[in-house]
Structure 1
Amino acid sequence: MQLKLGPQRLSWLPPRFSRLLPTLVASIVFVLLVTTARLRNGSFSSVFRSPPPPKIEPPKPIRPPLVRLPLSSGQCTSDIEYLRQRNLDLSNSITYSRRCVKQLATDKFNRDDVVNISKPLITHKTAINLTDCTVPDPIPCDDLPLQVPFPYPAQQYKHLIFGIASTYDRINDSLPAFAHWLKNTNALLVGVVVDAEEEKEGQWHPNPNVDLPALERLYNKSGVTASFIAPALKVNPRNREPEKRTEHHHFMLIRDLLARSTNETRWLGILDDDTFFPSLYPLDQELRRHDHARPLWLGALSEAFSSVQSWGYMAYGGAGAFVSLPLAREMNPVLEECIADATVDTGDGIMRDCVYTRTHTKLTLVPGLYQHDTHGDMSGFYESGVRPLSVHHWKTWYHEPMPEIAAVTDLCGDCFLARWRFGNDTLFTNGYSIATYAPGVLERTDLSSMEGTWVRPGRDFDFSLAPLREPLARDKKKSYHLKDSGMTETGTFRQLYVYRGDEEKEENDEVVELIWDLQ
């Protein structure tokens, strides 16, 4: 018999069932769609909550490094010679502007305000040819008085011990980032170098390509108190095979750090090798709000709700997880058991299972620690007025020169990522960007919300980053991103903000340099 869902209304069925059948079929189809979505995404939330993925513009091709011929000594001023550096990768012809910042330190600085300055930030533009240092006119540097907070007070942090588990090469490459926030602090960094030894036929031998004392000397020379060791865990507690999983060594950091604790130690920080703190001072101020004499586990969730649904309610390791000594001592005897019994094989997942099944401690959330389970353009986050205690994934899932961005914390502490609005078209986010907006756009923009610039923003981030607003198109906003920063030969501090010209449109790069007077 042929079923017809048309005008004949399935006359062979009872009238009541015939009327309900279309609704029943629609319900079945809906359930199938939801189930399919759950299987694909691990959650029903994507069906009800997530907006359609945005159109992601393909990245511009990487410009091949320019090779400039060396010029005779004295042909270029030191300022122009600096702009010629290969690592800056500026086009041969640039449009250059600069301002000389005069710091007006005050204890009344309100970090949450967007300071309004009626005059423009960019006051002069000079064309410079970097192949021959041609500068048609003297380059002006108009004074720019800015009220800023005082620098963070200099302190020692012997009560903090941090630990990472990573490869020799990654730890070696990570020195500039660790030096930014650890140099001259007396906080201890313990690094488990997972490839320090090689396993052959059940025996462990030193890796000839790894020099732990040399790595330690390199860090110490940069002002970082560091100790690098080979993994103590040799056998996988789960299968009794030689232990080669970085995740297990990451979890076993609890024992490594506990062994190096002293009577002064308050917190053990377990990090990824790309966990970055703009400064230890605000982190320490936050940790002081919690009683280190009690069993405590401090951390942050992922900003993406789908990640929390998939991995659970725990301290996500890239944001930084902090364990008090009483909790570390409680867990220490059962660490191998926790690895063997864990429901997942990630370091922070093993930590979650161990804390919840072997202790009575629960996670305490710490605002300001950011896991950054996000990809692509994170300018919306950094330009939002946020005050991050930590950030993560800054050299993998997105790319920002964090040591250079955060260098301004040495000058004025909480001025990092503070915002000033110039005229009605320019927003300056200290250390990150100078953004100029099309006429009328900045005036209509709610700067108390966060621009969703990363891949797939939306309801998945409401609980952590909202309120969010739509990302602006390229013709509505032109951004100069910080490329470099540091001390100059004359004892000032420079920040170099660069707008990359579109090569297809034959645009030159544009540069805005801020020279901070340290007096």
Structure 2
Amino acid sequence: MDIRRTLMSLVQRAGSKLSPPPRALKLAALVLISLMLYWKLKPPSRPHNVTDLVLKTSDLRDVAAGAGKPISTISPGDDHHSPAANGSAGGAQPLSKHVMNCNPDIRRLREIRDRYELDDEIEYLKRYVRFTRTPGIERPSYTVLQQSFLPDNNVEHKNFRVLHLSTSDHHEEAGEKCPSPLEISVPESPFPADVDLSDFMFAISTTVKRLSDHPTIIQEWAHWLTDGNDKSNGGKLLLRLLDASEAERVDVAQRLADAGIDAEVGAWDSRKEKEMAVRYLNLVPLLFSHESSPTKKWFVLCDDDTFFPAINSLVARFKRYDHTKPLYIGTLSEDASAVATHGSQAFGGAGVFLSRPLARILSSVHETCKTRKKIKQSNSGWGAQGDILLRKCIYENTHQLDLAGGDASGFYEVGFKPYSVHHFRDSGGGDHLWHTAYPLGTAQIAHTCGEDCPYQRFVTKDDFVIANGYSVAQYPGGIDDDLDLDQVERTFRALLDDKGWNFDYTFGPQRPALRGTGKKIAWELRESERGVGDGSVVQAYVRRKDDERWTTGEGTRMRERDGVIELVWIPA
């Protein structure tokens, strides 16, 4: 039995870390706890079924704590843009203890070179940004600074040094003086650690392969389901893994527990529910029938690649709604063609929110909503769709980031403060169905600067635009009246029938894309790391010399070397 072997392995590992006689007592207690947990989760009288075993992360954390097993934390090496474990956790502005150092960390740059397949010779710039959290100011679309991004902007590229990473010393040019940091004021917005998410319960259905292929998924969930320091923020997650073995469920549950997420992990059996749309609909009675249901106001269905960057704002928004009424809340697609194809509904990727009264109604008619006829009707040409099946169930029983083409920079660089983002993992394989972004890396700045800071824009005197946590863009010809920063740059296309006006009803008229014009060149975020106890955040923005977007109208490259910009944000 996989689960019993896993629990006994945990016992053995924990026992080896303890010294007698306390080890003997703690080990005996752990054995008892483990066996009680095993028989509680898997009654011996029940036949084996893929859906039998449901693991609670709270139980796993209790077992680990009883064994003296430390709860692991996220370390920068876990993935390309993992946060450090430390960070501000609370409403007070962190005190700056950071000592400015503009020497390049060659070892870190070599790792970035290898991860993103850059040349050994790169252009490099390190720039400090000092922020002041200021009460009473609003978050504007962009803020104009009276400083230049390049301290000496009279000589083109002067501040970009050329590094030969293979031959450079670990800390080259020691003792180099840093220029004065960019000084900015930001709103005194709440931190992720401030949120109380106890009114919400989330449900996600995915596969073990998805979690394996995208190792940051659990870290991304932890951003909006914990306080950023491995403790739950009150939100609960019900996770269902398709055809997952007991050992796989134990592994995933332990990883969720280590991240501090309050979750329960079970499995769907594809022999019983073959249709993905039906499994999506099944999340509703799963949520409503849960033992915690009476204490929750909102049940949320979302995808594994749904990310909530500003969870405090989301909670504040839902305080406007009456949770005692049957409410169905979500967003339409940004793409008018997608709405025309799939219908007027809450598109599932951005999160579908159901009040408890509505979940009660849907649970009572659940079986009638997933008949063969209903499943067929939910096929809009792309296979049966779970959000359509849910919409039909709601409409018949009661009186998202859809940007294709691989480049959604226009959306991320316009200064929006989104409640959620979606489809940020390009499907690969050359089709570039969706786009690529790193919202977990973007969101790290919120832990020290506040939730208004991600994606906020700052325009410098020398025509650079910092879209915080997404890009640093330079406009060599200047930012003039012809370049309206309040408009979305149309860098993306519609997934379905692109008529040219698909996104107008959401974004308004968009300005033309600047790719291939020589009027814009951008470095895009790839990694972000919180400092240890000093309130700093280091962001690494990368630009490839062969990126076809950054060429002149004649096709000439704007830069002949790959580039890395490191921004170091420090509190005042």
Q: Normalising to structure 1: TM-score of the pair?
A: 0.76
Structure-2 residue corresponding to 1:192: 240
* 1:162-188 CA distance string (max 9 Å, x none): 111111222453212212222231211
3-state SS of paired residue (1:244): coil
Task: State the partner residue of 1:517.
Answer: 570
Residue aligning to 1:70? none
Residue 345 of structure 2 corresponds to which residue in structure 1? Answer: 314
Whole-Å separation in 2 of the counterparts to 1:286 and 1:91: 46
Aligned-partner Cα distance in 2 for 1:442–1:483: 29
Code of the residue aligned with 1:98 in structure 2: it is: K
Residue 348 of structure 1 and its aligned partner are, at CA, apart by: 0.3
SS at match of 2:465: strand
Q: Identify the match of residue 149 of structure 1 among 184, 187, 198.
A: 187
User: Which residue pairs with 2:67 in the alignment?
Assistant: none
User: Are residue 462 (structure 1) and residue 497 (structure 2) matched?
Assistant: no
CA positional deviation for 1:436: 0.5
Which residue of 311, 323, 332 maps to 1:292? 323
| CA distance in 2 between partners of 1:359 and 1:244 (Å) | 27
- C-alpha distance in 2 between matches for 1:98 and 1:109: 29
Return the match for 2:110 from 69, 84, 89: 84
Equivalent residue in structure 1 for 2:162, among 113, 123, 127:
127
Partner of 2:461: 423
Distance 1:234 1:380 in 2: 39
User: Do the aligned partners of residues 182 and 420 (structure 1) sit closer, same or farther apart at CA in structure 2, a change above 3 Å counting?
Assistant: same
**2:446 maps to 1:409:** yes
- Measure the CA separation in 2 of the matches of 1:354 and 1:478: 48
2:176, 2:287 → 1: CA distance? 53
1:433 aligned to which of 471, 476, 492: 471
Where does the alignment leave 5 or more consecutive residues of structure 2 unmatched? 1-102, 152-158, 227-231, 379-383, 427-433, 548-555
Partner of 2:49: none
User: Is contact 1:493-1:518 (8 Å) kept?
Assistant: no
Distance in 2 of aligned mates of 1:349 and 1:269: 16
Partner of 2:420: 390
Is 1:359 matched with 2:398? yes
Task: Give the 5 Å matches for 1:489-508.
Answer: 491=534, 492-502=536-546, 507-508=560-561
One-letter code aligned to 1:434 = V
Structure with more relative contact order (C-alpha pairs < 8 Å, separation 6 or more): 2
1:160 matches 2:200: yes
Give the 3-state SS of the residue equivalent to 1:357 in structure 2. Answer: helix
Once residues 103 and 518 of structure 1 are traced to their aligned partners in structure 2, the CA distance between those partners, rounded to angstroms, is: 5
Pair 1:399 & 2:436 matched: yes
1:223 maps onto 2:267 in alignment: no
State how 1:442-481 maps to structure 2 within 5 Å: 442-456=480-494, 458-474=500-516, 475-481=518-524
Whether the aligned pair in 1 keeps the contact of 2:150 and 2:462 (CA below 8 Å) is no
CA–CA distance in structure 2, aligned partners of residues 428 and 258 of structure 1: 44
Instruction: For residues 225-261 of structure 1, give each alpha carbon's deviation from its aligned partner in whole angstroms, at most 9, with x where no partner exists.
Output: 1111123x777xxxxxx32222211111001111223
Q: Following TM superposition, by how much is the alpha carbon of 1:314 offset from its aligned partner in structure 2, in angstroms?
A: 0.7
Q: Is the 8 A contact 1:192 1:249 kept in 2?
A: no
Work out which of the residue numbers 336, 348, 370 in structure 2 matches 1:339.
370
Q: CA 1:92 to 1:234, structure 2 compared with 1: closer, same or farther past 3 Å? A: closer
Going from structure 1 to structure 2, the CA distance change for 1:234 and 1:379 (only over 3 Å counts) comes to closer
Identity among equivalent pairs (%): 31
Q: Return the index of the structure with the highest Cα Rg.
A: 1
| 1:112 and 2:140 matched | yes
User: Structure 1 residues 439, 485: closer, same or farther in 2, change over 3 A?
Assistant: same
Q: 1:234 to 1:116 in 2, by over 3 A?
A: closer
Residues 1:348 and 2:378 aligned together: no
Superposed, 1:173-322 pairs within 5 Å as 173=215, 174-183=217-226, 184-196=232-244, 207=245, 211-231=248-268, 242-260=272-290, 261-322=292-353
Give me the TM-score of the superposition, normalised by structure 2.
0.69
Distance 2:510 2:486 in 1: 9
Task: Assess if the C-alpha contact under 8 Å between 2:543 and 2:562 holds in 1.
Answer: yes
Distance between the aligned counterparts of 1:169 and 1:179, measured in 2?
19
CA distance in 1: counterparts of 2:398 and 2:121, whole angstroms: 63
How far is the alpha carbon of 1:419 from its aligned partner? 0.9
User: Is residue 169 of structure 2 the alignment partner of residue 103 of structure 1?
Assistant: no
Distance 1:438 1:78 in 2: 26
Question: In 1, distance between residues paired with 2:347 and 2:270?
Answer: 25
How many pairs are equivalent? Answer: 416
**SS of match in other structure, 1:162:** strand
1:486 and 2:516 are equivalent in the alignment: no
Q: Secondary structure at the match of 1:485?
A: strand
Distance (whole Å) between structure 1 residues aligned to residue 533 and residue 544 of structure 2:
28
Q: Deviations over 1:64-88 (max 9, x none)?
A: xxxxxxxxxxxxx882211111324
RMSD over aligned Cα atoms = 2.2
Q: CA deviation at 1:312?
A: 0.7
The one-letter code matched in structure 1 to 2:509 is: P
Please state how far the C-alpha of 1:136 moved relative to its aligned partner. 5.1
